[in-house]
Homo-oligomer: A and B are copies of this chain.
């Protein structure tokens, strides 16, 4: 298993009473305010399940919701095409996936539209980093390819250049079907991926309290194929959610659980992830205040709610609104990733590369985020093991008062256990100047090159490759692209 295990207690900012009050408010919202379901087939399903409605608005009975979400597994396995890279989503596991959804890509040359060349490099970097466990088919939009069929190319390029599990990009009924078909080809047929999921998808409500036809069409396909779905509202206090954070949490729970309930009606037992974000809003710019206290509180509270429902959790990540790899990018990411770990997040989307609040993916930011992931990994494992060898009383005795440990045999044997940063400078200022006075962004450029150089092509079975290409060619011909 290639993901992380978080051995520490979760850090909880809400009391049990608080969690109960948020749950109760969410249930009241589901029962009394209801959710707008802008998708007739889903409304029909919900009516058949006995839910009351008024026009597009459906009222979710709390007992039924609790019954439905109990059908979802508390954790599930997600396959990589290399079985050694399989991951578990749920429990004490933490799976990191780079950022996704950006239309732009940035490096030292500047900022440009997403394109195949950068896409492939970013997938290769993901493949090369042990701290990233899952590839993201939406790592950057392929704006140089036709919109009708670019989902095929995106999923294919992930499959081709990485043997890790991958998150699929299909976000409509038809694209979801295509993506499910490609996963089926990869893993030996539809029955095979229905038994053991071959990809994972994300759906987002049109907050507040609304599911559109596009998302529900996509979600239905993934559920029918038993592929896991991450249900993720993106809420901004005072804009798409109440200004009070507790109310934002109640709305988050109502939206996420309504999505999960729908998925369980479509196919009971569909693996799901309780996802979501609650950010503050910068009233000067109308943008979310990523990395601010509201974000951190939302990440932590979200984890507590997910545990209340015994569901895997997605929240947090290396969010940043900064335009460059500066101190803001550093502290926003570190603030967010600490909260992510403390919350017990099971699936971390946006774990590497985000700048401009996900308008762009940045190579240097990617490398910096990998540095932060490497630090967190050490914190989780090995942490601080306490045993006779490491207590080292005999070494302390030998070195004695006023002595020096540098030359001790114990030091010589274990100095490689110390964390060695690929990015942080500990040199004195003179040596740092003599070496070019590089700030983190410039050091990161070198780290990016090392990541690209370290990529090893995992290859792809030629028969599968050919089948995938044939499927894409057929779809593209049909779409006329």
**Whole-angstrom CA separation of A330 from B384 in the bound complex:** 25
User: Cβ of B338 and Cβ of A35 under 8 Å apart?
Assistant: no
Copies of the polypeptide in the assembly = 2
Assess the B384–A210 pair: CB atoms within 8 A: no
Contact call B206/A390, Cβ cutoff below 8 A: no
A425 in the interface (beta carbon within 8 A):
yes
Contact size range, A: 35 or more
A246 at the interface (CB under 8 A from B): yes
A285 → chain B closest CB, angstroms: 5
Q: Cα distance A390–B414 when bound, in Å?
A: 53
B237 touches A426 (CB 8 A): no
The digit string for A326-350, where 1 denotes a CB below 8 A from any CB of B, is 1111111111001000100000000
A224 at the interface (CB under 8 A from B): no
Once the chains bind, are B331 and A372 in contact (CB under 8 Å)? yes
The answer on a CB contact under 8 Å between B244 and A327 is no
Contact call A242/B392, Cβ cutoff below 8 A: yes
CB < 8 Å neighbour of A426 from B285, B413, B432, B444:
B285
The chain B residue with its CB closest to the CB of A15 is B386
A378-B244 contact, Cβ under 8 Å, with A238-B411, A330-B329: no
**What separation, in Å, do the CA atoms of A406 and B237 have in the docked complex?**
9
Chain B residues closer than 8 Å to A414, beta-carbon distance: 238, 243-244
- Given contact pairs A401-B36, A410-B244, A426-B357, A289 touches B421 in the complex (Cβ within 8 A): yes
- B residues within 8 A CB of A283? 415, 418, 420
Q: Give residues in A with beta carbon < 8 Å to B.
A: 8-9, 11-14, 17-18, 21-22, 25, 28-29, 32-36, 56-57, 111, 206, 208-210, 237-247, 249-251, 280-285, 287-294, 296-297, 301, 321-335, 338, 342, 356-357, 359-360, 368, 371-372, 375-376, 378-379, 383-387, 389-393, 395-397, 399-406, 408, 410-411, 413-415, 417-421, 423-429, 431-432, 437, 439-441, 444
Can you offer 5 A-B residue contacts whose CB atoms are under 8 A?
A33-B396, A209-B400, A244-B389, A244-B390, A323-B429
